[in-house]
Amino acid sequence: MQYRSLGKQGLKVSALGYGCMGWGYSGGTKSDAVTFIRQVVDQGVNFFDTAEVYGPYENEEMVGEALSPIRNQVILATKFGFNIIDGQNKGVTSKPDHIRKVVDASLKRLKTDYIDLLYQHRVDPNVPIEDVAGTVKELIQAGKVKYFGMSEAGVKTLRRAHAVQPVSALQNEYSLWTRQIETDGILQTCEELGIGLVPFSPLGRGFLTGTLNANSQFDPKDLRSVFPRFTVKAMEKNQGLIQLLQQIAEEKKTTLAQIALAWLLAQKPWIVPIPGTTKMHRLTENIGSLNISLTPEEINKIRKKVETFEVEGNRYPDAVLAMTGL
């Protein structure tokens, strides 16, 4: 396994992490999740991503059960930032007292006495980010947290938070069909401040694997069922992007997923994607991307090809999109 550093504070993780969110949404049991997550560790991955809102709570419990026996071998990341009442997400909140309460609850579910990387899941416009960063700083000083992360934050907010408590990692969507962070200043700011980038959905929520098309059906529990890029019309049009990538994959004698991940890994040495899957052959395929070397010419060729294609549909519904980049 290859390793990369997130931020300048010493957080070193496997070059590919594992997004655990799918467990609890895929229909798999807790036993299935525990078995699979331990197999992920056996494959050399040591960086695991979860959140209290996944389930809610259920995902953290699965991850905790799976990793507690080998806690010293892994890096655990979880998130706070939503107001969960009676099992329902009632919007964002990052009040300091709420953060402390959530962290204590997450520690219990994860069966650990410290969280390696604690993210603010979404920015709360009603709480100064300095108060949020200051609270996480206190948790770090108390030994409950080791590193501070943010998710889907805008440049100004990221800078203000970093001035109070260094941000080790920013989690944002980034892939061959979602490249907004290249133009909105996020990527440049991360490089300037020494913040690692953790792209979620690096395979476009499965679309960039080439296994989805206009005939694909989604369970109502599957978030893609309400995402604009996964309507029949959008998936029909976006097949054009898959055709472009397929040509490149054939030239490299590899898969679409491996091309998508290899391209992302090649952008910066401090980028650590966290693809999620519940299938072992997909996990093996994803890890195989670490063995694919792209020349600068190939990287630029891929970029030029995808830039000629206009993706149909926003990555989120409008209400969810409004919660990002604050």
Catalytically active residues are 54
Quickly tell me which residue has 């519904």 as its tokens: 317
Quick one: which of 294, 176, 296, 295 has its CA closest to 245?
176
Residues 6+ apart with CB under 8 A from 45: 1, 14, 16, 17, 18, 287
CA angle 320/27/40 to nearest 5° reads 90
Give the Å distances, CA to CA, from 142 to 64, 106, 146, 325.
21, 15, 9, 30
Q: Following CA atoms 168, 171, 172, 174 in sequence, which dihedral angle do they give, to the nearest 10 degrees?
A: 90
